Structures are given as C-alpha cells and as structure tokens.
Amino acid sequence: MRKYNKDSSQNCSYPPTKSNHKLLYLLILLLISFSSTIGYAPAWAEGTEPISKDNVYQIGTADELVWFRDSINSGDIPASSDAKLTANIDLTRAGGQPSRWQPIGGAFNGKEHYYEGTFDGCGHSVKGYTVTSADMVDIYDRKAAGFFGVLSNGATVKRLTLLGDVNVASVVSIYAGGFAGITYNSTITNCTYSAIINVSNSGGMGFVGGFVGYPHGGKIVNCIYSGTGGVTSQANYYTGGFVGCSEGCTIINCTYSSTGGISISGDIAAYGGGFVGENYGTIINCVFSGAGIVSASGCDKVGGLVGVNHGTITNCGWLNTAASEDVGLNNGGNKTDVVSLDSKEFTRIVTTILLNETTVAEGASTEVNITTYPGKPDDIAKYFTIISADTSDNAVATIAAGKSGIIVSGLKAGVTEILAFVKLNTFNFKDKTISENTPIETELISPVTVEAEPISPIPPTPPIQPTTPQPHSGGSSGCNMGTTAIVLLALLPLLYRKKR
C-alpha cells in the first residue's frame, strides 16, 4: 500500500483511476445541468449587430447601440451608415450605475472615423450613461466629448432625446457638448438634451456647450436643453449654455430652459453666454430662459445671451436675472431685437415645439401631448398649425389632426409612429406679438403604443379531488436545483476517496 507523506504536496491528489474517471464525467454532466438552471442577465458590452432595413440599421436594444457605435469607431462599417431607434434605450448597469460611453465618431490610432450618416431617434430616448475623461475621442491633437464626438460632412441627427452626463477633464484643447463635441456642416433638428455638463480644461482651449461644443457650419433647429442639469465649465475660452463657440452655424428656434445655471471660470481668456459663448454664426428666435444665472470668474466677457458676438443675432430673449447685459461684447456683429424678459413673461412664449410619446388602449382614443418651450401659454393655438399628420401603420392606430391638436385612436395592440408636419409661428420679442409672417416648418415624430384591451378572466374550474391519496411532487425549479445540489455533495467525497 502506498505510503502517505503529509509533508509532500504531491499527496494532495490521487492518481486517476477508471472509477475516478467515471465519477468525474458524471460530476461534469451534473454541473452542466445545474448551471443551466441559473439565469444570467445578457452582457451587451460586446454589442449585437442590429438588422438593416432599406440600408438603415434598426436599433432597439442597448447592445445594438453599442455595436453600432463600436463599428463606426473601428471603421468596420462606413462612417456614412444610417441608423434609427426603434425603442427607448437604457444603458444603466446592474446596481443602477450609469455605463461609460465612448462618443460616436472620432479619430482612432490616427485614422478618422467621424460620423457622416443620419441618426434618427424617431422620438425615442437614450439614458443611463456618462462620458468620462477616459472615454473622450481624438480630433487632431485635441479631444471631443458628447454622445457624438465628431459629426462631419453633412451628418444629420434628428428627433432624439439624450439623458446622459458629460463629466470630463482635459490637459489639451477640448470640444464638449451634450449632443456632440464638434460638428462640421451637420444638421441637428427636433432634439432634446437633459443632463449635466461638467468640463475642466487645464491646457489649451475649451469649447463647451450644453448642446454642442463647437458647431462649424450647418444648422441646429427646434432643439432644447431642459431638465435640472446645467453647465459647469472650468475651461479657458468659450462656454455657452447651448453652444460654446458657433463658427458659421445657423441656430433657429432653440431654447435653453434648464433650471440649472451656468458656471464659468477661466485663467486665460474666457467668454461666456447664457446661450452661446462666442458667436460667428446666426442666431434666430432663440432664448435663454433657465432659472439659474450665468456666473463667471476670471471671464473677459459675459452676456445673458452671448458672451462675444461677431455674427448675427435676431429676435432673441434672455432671462433678465441671468446677467447684467444681453451680449458681453458686440465685436463687429449685428444685433437686432434682443430683449430681456422676466420669468413670468417666458411662460407665455413658445420658441420650440416637440411631440410626446403616446399610449392608448385598443379601441380607445386620446389626445397627443404637444410640449412647448419655454412656456405653455393659454393661447397656444396661435403659435403653431398642424399642416398634416399620419401614422406609419394605420392598422395599429389612426389619427385625426386639427389645426392645433392631434387625436390618436388605437385599433390593435402594437407600436407605430405619428409623423406630423408643423408650422411654428414667430414670437416677436420687441413688440411681444405672435407673427405668421416668418414661420418655420418642421417635421415632428413620436412613438405610439397601443395596449391590448384587457380580457376578462375566466373563473377557474374546480380541481377534481382524487379518490386515493397521491404522492406529492414539487414543480419548482428551486426543488430541482436543490436535488441536484444534494447529489453533487454526495459525489464530491467519492472523487477524493483514498484508493486502498
């Protein structure tokens, strides 16, 4: 018989035998069976490719969104790839923590993968994420932060709501915004951002905006920064509640209405505005109506609407308690009908309009909620006209559109979309009237969910009592798992039993 030496490490195991092999094989099978009864939340960090319909990626889950982002940034799919959301997406991790988000579009290993396609939110939202310093993308020798890093060459983002923070610090120049860090000749329409921007920059220049850091050309139309967030910028140079520095961009009918204020500080040259930090573009029918103030430390020029203006500002309003003047410095720019108002006056003004998501029961009808910013006036019908409206699937729901309202009727359970063309009239800030002479026309969309009509429950049939006692057998997976565990415990000693 083999001698056991307690001081020898090789005696911690026994040589394999045919009997041990059989027991080990059986144990492995039981372990596989046991593990298959345990459910795990799917890991979406690696991403799952969404289906493509008419050359447009249909994104309805978090892992599909991650796949699209990673495929654009790696160059695995063209930068001009189009995508649309088919559902609201929550990127929140287990335990309630937001996931980290690397922006869509940037330079990676010296190769430019700036996003150039059309990203249509279709009235849906993305939430539960945050952009950190480690997530920023490159653009030349600078950094970009936002849900999108760099939009370029005619990229379009529309009908999307974002609810993710941007919290970054950089030692080089940085472009940071809730929607995008920097855009080139791109268009953003009918979008909402509602979160917090917190940026510090200890070297180079900072271009920080609540919506976009640095839009170069292109346009932003009928967009809103709302919620309880705000913009905190310890960045040199340009900071605005909506846009940091506008270089030839046209901004029309946009609103900053966040209850969070704007805090700006800098130690070189800092320009801050409630709406735009520095403007070389065109701003029309826009407002800063946030409840906070534009507070600045070490700034050269600060304004309730714009810090420094080299471009054109027409028919805009700003909260009179936000700052001491509308434009900190009008440096060769044109400024017409820029008016300060109190908070009560803003409740009667509409500059931005969006449709809300709607739920209706099968066989019922309801009115679609139309949200207006910065106010919700009683005479709202004077501000807009619905030109046309329809649903994408008339088998699921139909609508009846009036001049200033939409009624949706649910026909069968399912999901569809309302697509409405709306004419938004202009509020004249100088004489405080509503004008139909210079309206904008915009295309709004909102998801509609038709819920199935509840079915009356059928009373259960009383069970037939057995004439003879029946043995009890459990039907829960917990009992099965417990039985398997007992068998495993019984087998474990056999595997390590000393061979005599």
Note the pLDDT tens digit of each residue in 326-363.
Answer: 999 999 999 999 999 999 999 999 999 999 999 999 99
Tell me, what's the pLDDT at 143?
Answer: 96
pLDDT higher than 50, residue 190: yes
pLDDT higher than 80, residue 32: no
For 346, the enclosing helix (H) or strand (E) is helix 343-346
Looking at residue 276, its amino acid is: V
| Mean pLDDT for all residues in the chain | 84
Written as six digits, the tokens of 16 are 């394999």
> pLDDT digit string (tens) for 255-282?
999 888 788 876 666 788 999 999 999 9
pLDDT higher than 50, residue 310: yes
Beta bridge partners of 416: 448
For 29, the enclosing helix (H) or strand (E) is helix 18-35
Q: How far is CA 484 from the centre of its chain?
A: 45
> Predicted confidence band at 286 (pLDDT cuts at 50, 70, 90)?
very high
Question: How far is the C-alpha of 33 from the C-alpha of 21, rounded, in Å?
Answer: 19
Question: How far is the C-alpha of 59 from the C-alpha of 71, rounded, in Å?
Answer: 13
pLDDT higher than 80, residue 487: no
> pLDDT digit string (tens) for 393-441?
999 999 998 877 899 999 999 999 999 999 999 999 999 999 998 899 9
Tell me, what's the pLDDT at 162?
Answer: 98
Question: How far is the C-alpha of 237 from the C-alpha of 267, rounded, in Å?
Answer: 9
**Residue 322 · residue 294 · CB < 8 Å:** yes
Task: Enumerate domains of the chain plus CATH numbers.
Answer: 52-346 (2.160.20.110), 353-451 (2.60.40.1080)
> Predicted confidence band at 252 (pLDDT cuts at 50, 70, 90)?
very high
Tell me, what's the pLDDT at 496?
Answer: 46
Reduce the DSSP state of residue 28 to 3 states and report it.
helix
Question: How far is the C-alpha of 272 from the C-alpha of 302, rounded, in Å?
Answer: 5
> pLDDT digit string (tens) for 361-373?
999 999 999 999 9
Q: 449 CB contacts (<8 Å, ≥6 apart)?
A: 357, 358, 359, 360, 414, 415
